[in-house]
Amino acid sequence: MLALLRQWRVWVLAILLAGPVLAYMGFGTIWLWQAGWLWLATLLWIVAGVAFSVLAARWTKHTHAIMPPLDWESPETFSPRDRDAWGLVEEEARAGEELSMEDLTNADLYIETGRRLLSRLAAFYHPGSSDPLARVPLVELLTAIELAAEDLTHLSRQVPGGDVITLSHWQRAVQISNYISKANDIYAMFSPLLNPLGGLARLGSREMLVKPAWRDMQLNVLRWFYQAYVNRIGVHLVELMSGRLAIGADRYRRLTRKAGSRRRADAAEEPLVAAVVGARGVGKSRLIDALKQAVGGDAAIMRAWFEGQGLEPGLVDRLRELRWSEAPAYPGSLERESRRDRRHRKEALEAALEADLVILVVDEVKGLQPADVAFAQDWDRHFVERPLREAPPALVVVTNVDRAEVGAPWAPPYDWAGGKGPREAAVRSLFDAIRSTLPPAFGTLAAAGLPEGAAFGVSESVLPALAAQLHRAERSGLVRQLQSLSERSAVGRVMSQIGEQGRSAWANIRARRKSSAPRAS
């Protein structure tokens, strides 16, 4: 009886809310009929309904959608191996296009999808294991769930009312929509008896356009939420399998969830490092001095030059934050190479591996030396054998192009890409030799003359090439930092946690002593 009473109150409230609207519609219909405009109003009603259904279905599906867009670009923390794993996430999301409305409103679908995606990614990262999930740390799995839930909450709040919608609301909305659709079907079937011309037009437009478009719109909204779920879960499961969540949720947020253009400004204590590598006598120190002098010049002129080259003017400020590091020089020849020479090349390689940018300096007169080739091959092999690491961008700078041995007298400016002079042709010939000999990662080249008077090619060629690589450098630096933190041993992490707990306990003891001292006095 109590349930019926509550139902009665609901009906009273519904009548009070919708009754005046229905009354206005009835009186308006009578007035339109008396004025002779009923046919026109009916036609406009049909056209508006068709337009709404078609546009709603289209705008909830196409790329320029009214729903918040989903980012399917692999995150900047992903290594090449992670980008391959990202294909599994995209494949799972595409499978949502085939799901029915009943499936998309079933909570078990989302639980099963999460389990299946976790199993597939675990098998991808641990292909030789009989039970790949057994190797997933529980704390890191909980961290992935926490981060994914936070992302989904933020995404859902972008939809008006998204923070109060439950699964029962989804199911109830589908049921109510079905009831309304059935009522409209019944009305559309009987309307030709009351108004043959308008009723038949309404029945035809409803069956051929309105009903399919309306159902497509509902499916698109549900599929958007499903794909958003797969997107966010997939990102953090990939991070989990790569071991980068070992640092914990709080530290992961601090490192990764800053705006890309502000990351280095907010972390000015850790600027990008550019390692300048090369054989002995190729002019590394002179190149570093010329680079420092160029970035320290008139910023307005550099911004205008960058803008003319199609680069962001703001990259000038980020170039000024670069820290230049000169790696140990190594002998150019590999003949009769001593242990000390091999150690120098190994030290240069280690300096390059810890940098965010690598500049390999090659002398135009000496050409590409065997030790340069060995260094580049060792550097490339390091990242091939470690697919979880992102290789930093590399730039080859050819120096001493101003020397008399290269060609005609030195008379800048020069066009290294399309110039017809003998000096320009010689530089291009060396460029071709470098590209054909070194690994593909060293495919970006620039040239600079560094005479005692004024350098040419540093501001015109080298700095724009470096600026174009800054985005990749920031990404590789972030991946390296996350990887180094996550690769700490389990024993080291446990000892660190014990130390933190000990410091916290000692701080509490001191606080209690301080609070009890005034009472004793």
Same-domain pairing of 475 and 510: no
- Judge whether 17 lies within some domain: no
| 442 and 505 co-located in one domain | no
The token pair at 63 is 């790329």
Residues 177 and 299 placed together within one structural domain of the fold: no
How far is it, in rounded angstroms, from Cα 376 to Cα 301?
Answer: 35
Q: How many domains does the chain have?
A: 3
Range of the domain at 408: 267-482
- Per-position DSSP letters for 338-407, written without gaps between them: -HHHHHHHHHHHHHHHT-SEEEEEEETTT-S-HHHHHHHHHHHHHHHS-TTSPPPPEEEEEE-TTSGGGS
φ and ψ at residue 394, rounded to 5 degrees: -125, 145
pLDDT score, position 37: 78
How many CB atoms within 10 Å of residue 315?
20
278 forms beta bridges with 361
* Whether residue 280 is found in the same domain as residue 387: yes
CATH of the domain at 316: 3.40.50.300
DSSP-derived 3-state class of residue 273: strand
**Confidence label for 182 from pLDDT (cuts 50, 70 and 90):** low
pLDDT of residue 4: 47
User: Do 222 and 355 fall into the same domain?
Assistant: no
Confidence band, pLDDT 50/70/90 cuts, at residue 130: confident
Do 210 and 359 lie in one domain? The reply is no
Position with higher pLDDT, 290 vs 3: 290
Q: What percent of the chain stands above pLDDT 70? A: 69
In a domain? residue 232: yes
Q: What is the pTM of this model?
A: 0.56
- CB-CB contact of 287 with 367 (8 Å): no
How many residues does this entry show for the chain? 521
- Give yes or no for residue 487 having a pLDDT over 50: yes
Q: 163 in helix, strand or coil? A: coil
Tell whether the model's pLDDT for residue 404 goes beyond 70. yes
Looking at the chain, the whole-number percentage of residues with pLDDT higher than 90 is 17
* 152 and 291 share one domain: no
Residues 349 and 408 in one domain: yes
Least confident of 58-67, 131-140, 308-317, 415-424: 58-67
Alpha-carbon gap, residue 318 to 467, rounded angstroms:
8
Is residue 63 located within the same domain as residue 209? Answer: yes
Q: What is the mean pLDDT of the chain?
A: 76
- pLDDT, tens only, 270-287: 688 999 999 998 989 999
What does the pLDDT look like over 146-169, one tens digit per residue? 888 888 777 766 655 555 566 565
Q: What is the pLDDT of residue 263?
A: 44
